[in-house]
Amino acid sequence: MSANKAVGIATVVMVLCAWAYIALSREPRLPTSIANGRYSNGCCGTIFLHDGVMTVANQRVDYIIERDKAGPYVLPTAYVGASVHAVVVKFDAYPLKLRLDDAAHPHQLELLDDAADGVRYSFTRVNGS
């Protein structure tokens, strides 16, 4: 086998391995403790986050924290959204990303409206939490 063929085959193998690594790797997880605290919104209520468990409206929902190109987010195991008067949890619906404003020390958590118009509700971290 000539040197050119060997280099060509090695290059193709390296490109395929790099592609497989990128395609199969998951989004990087962040520690769940960074978002621990109580987040409140005047119209909708309060959300408690503590070490991977979200408590809202007397319901508990597990979550992880990851980061994508838009920034850090909380990914619950159920749909968690907001309406005009309350936070809505639907265990039979697709979960949405709840955006955090900062990966190191988040001060806000953003939820989408339960309605079709997709209004965003900001929940602010309560001091001392």
β-strand pairing of 71-76 with 79-82 = unpaired
Do residues 94 and 79 make contact, with C-beta atoms less than 8 angstroms apart? yes
Rounded CA-CA distance 34/52 in Å is 10
Cα angle 44-46-49, degrees, rounded to a multiple of 5: 135
Tens of pLDDT, residues 97-119: 999 999 888 999 999 886 767 78
Rounded CA-CA distance 26/44 in Å is 33
Tens of pLDDT, residues 54-95: 999 889 999 999 998 889 999 999 999 888 788 989 999 999
Query: Token digits for 128?
Result: 């001392």
pTM: 0.74
